[in-house]
Amino acid sequence: MLVKGAVWKVGNDIDTDQIYPGKYLYETDPKKIGQFALAGLLPGFAQQIEDKDVILVAGHNFGCGSSREHAAIALREAGVKAVVAQSFGRIFFRNAINLGLPVVECGDLYAGAEDGDELLIDLRAGILKNITKGQAYPLGVLPPAVAEIMFGGGLIDYYRRKIADGEGKF
Amino acid sequence: MHALEKILARAAGVKEVRAGEIVNAKVDLAEVNDLYLQVIKSFYEMGGKKVWDPNKVAFVLDHYAPAPTIKSAANQKVMREFVWEQGIPHLFDINAGVCHQVMPEAGLVWPGMVLVATDSHTTTHGAFGAFGTGVGATDLATILISGELWFRVPEVIKVELEGKMQPGTMAKDVVMHLLAHIGTDGAVYKAIEYTGPVVEAMSVAERMVICNMAVEMGAKTTYIHPDDTTLAYIRKYCDRDFDILETDPDYQYSAVYTFDISQLEPQVALPHSVDRVVPISEAPEVEVDQVFIGTCTGGRVEDIAAAAKILAGKKVHPKTRLIVIPASQEVLLESMKLGYIQALIEAGATLSTPGCGPCLGAHEGVLAPGEVCVTASNRNFPGRMGSTEASIYLASPATAAATALTGKLTDPRTVWEEGGEV
């Protein structure tokens, strides 16, 4: 699974209130949720990246705070291709995997990456390349059960397939 | 194994689990709040028809209680209809209060259980020796279908609290002090166990506060080994059987932190991060527009009592607003019986009915650009309580009440005249 896009850098401790402000939590339509991606940090972000392939590159603890799944939905629907962070808030990390938004932990990319650098992530091979800078970074391997969910497009499709295979419990 | 590992092993139907391992564990209670209609949407999108066990599901309408907009009212309407259609007995409607206070008071929380909710502050239930953790909506939907969820078995950090809390300091001050040292990501993916004489001396309400804000350090769950204090609380509300699992003496913690609380003074988290914590003596002098006392962190009877003792017979500063929201109906009734609500209203407080209130910026007292708020709640992220141009200071309910009295950030020890414990 290959993901390609240009670096958009953000800082440390970008919490879910900045990714998706509480005042929009009533929203349930994914397309509308996408319009408010990062609205607490960069109002208009979704509109700015409309026709671009963007990979968010964050410092430590991206997605800390609330359990709101809206945060991962918003980034995915706004067209963010992946999030690469030095570390993630736990619930956001799970939500992103469940929703099929690629999330990658990489401690070393951040310092040398600049806005606009072209990145190529090979999720299965576990390698991240900064093409612009000519750097490559090995990635940690996800546990097989978790990888199956992420590569399969998220938890909803994963469960649908399980039902089709007769493995579901319902 | 740690007691938390034994809880997970039992729920997963295996003899042993190890930190880092992924296990599929059975869930004893799955709770959904009114922010997450997505739970029901995901449930149907995945092919769900009937929830796996209606008795093990709770819906709590707390974040938008009562509904402030047509859209949130419509979301709540769909949730109620789902609850009734599925025969779920545990619906806590807009009159009940915040889920983390309501569930234990309804007898739905006990030592050794696995409790999963669509709320990050589900770490609160470590105060009862339960494995409580927050998840997103789609994870919760899979529980509604299957009764199970995958968990990564967490490493456990031990936090020993030595010494004795001083008058004027509260559990909120203790946990903010820990945040200052452990940081916002110091416990990501890990569990925190609290031990030591300070914890032993704490009431259940105080233990809930330090477990509640463990999530601000990134923790997945928390644990306080149940003792007589825990059992007295549980037995008041819950008549089911349970056993208490012991941590093996040879269990290796991933880290051990020891803090002596004896000299701790009231603490304040400065805007806009929960770990920008300073002792109140080092906090800047700042004029305050709004004070908020409430939520799953600072809205229990003890918290309202501290505020009432500071404000009884006095008046809230004319340029400052004080909003008080009891965490549950039971807290409200008890606080009324004890005269606290009367005292606070006479002092000039605005009282709202139990729920999350303005904590997440949805309603009931959101902040204007440029405004300053001192709050007994748990997060001061930019825009958390309304405008991203507002400033939020986190403090204990006592510090919040003292601030409401003077109109500026104030050490509660300077306004508590009779010298008793706040």
Residue A169 has pLDDT above 70, yes or no: no
In the stretch 1-60 of chain A, residues with CB closer than 8 A to chain B read: 13, 15, 17-18, 21-23, 25-28, 40-41, 60
Task: Domain of residue A6: give its range.
Answer: 2-139
Query: With a cut of 50, which residues of chain B have pLDDT below it?
Result: 419
Kindly give the pairing relationship between strand A80-85 and strand A118-122: unpaired
CA B5/CA B248 separation, integer angstroms = 10
CB contact under 8 A, A146 and B22: yes
CB contact under 8 A, A155 and B386: no
Total number of domains in chain A: 1
- Three-class secondary structure of residue A78 per DSSP: helix
- Asked whether residue A155 is assigned to any structural domain, the reply reads no
Q: Write down the pLDDT at residue A166.
A: 67
Residue A94 has pLDDT above 50, yes or no: yes
Which residue is it, tokens 């020890």? B413
- Asked whether residue A110 is assigned to any structural domain, the reply reads yes
- Asked whether residue A21 is assigned to any structural domain, the reply reads yes
- Asked whether residue A82 is assigned to any structural domain, the reply reads yes
CB contact under 8 A, B188 and A168: no
Q: What is the pTM of this model?
A: 0.96
The domain spans of chain B are 3-258, 269-410
Q: Write down the pLDDT at residue A160.
A: 84
Q: Residue A89 sits in a domain of what CATH number?
A: 3.20.19.10
Smallest Cα–Cα separation from B177: which of B204, B219, B225, B210? Answer: B210
Please write the tens of the pLDDT for every residue from A2-19: 999 999 999 999 999 999
CB contact under 8 A, B185 and A64: yes
Distance in Å, alpha carbon of B7 to nearest chain A alpha carbon: 20
Q: Write down the pLDDT at residue B207.
A: 98
Asked if B3-258 and B269-410 have one fold, the answer is: yes
Question: Is residue A142 very low, low, confident or very high in pLDDT (cuts 50, 70, 90)?
Answer: confident
Distance in Å, alpha carbon of B416 to nearest chain A alpha carbon: 34
CA B224/CA B212 separation, integer angstroms = 12
Question: Is residue A167 very low, low, confident or very high in pLDDT (cuts 50, 70, 90)?
Answer: low
Rounded-to-5 percentages of helix, strand, coil across chain B:
35, 20, 45
Q: Write down the pLDDT at residue A144.
A: 87
CATH topology of domain B3-258: Aconitase; domain 3 (3.30.499)
Smallest Cα–Cα separation from B419: which of B269, B310, B283, B301? Answer: B310
- Asked whether residue A6 is assigned to any structural domain, the reply reads yes
ipTM value, please give it.
0.93
In the stretch 102-131 of chain A, residues with CB closer than 8 A to chain B read: none
Please write the tens of the pLDDT for every residue from B205-260: 999 999 999 999 999 999 999 999 999 999 999 999 999 999 999 999 999 999 99
For domain B269-410, the CATH class is alpha beta
Our CA dihedral for B258, B376, B267, B211, rounded to 10 degrees, sits at 0
CA B109/CA B236 separation, integer angstroms = 12
**Considering CB atoms only, which of A61, A90, A145 is closest to B150?**
A145
Smallest Cα–Cα separation from B37: which of A95, A27, A14? Answer: A27
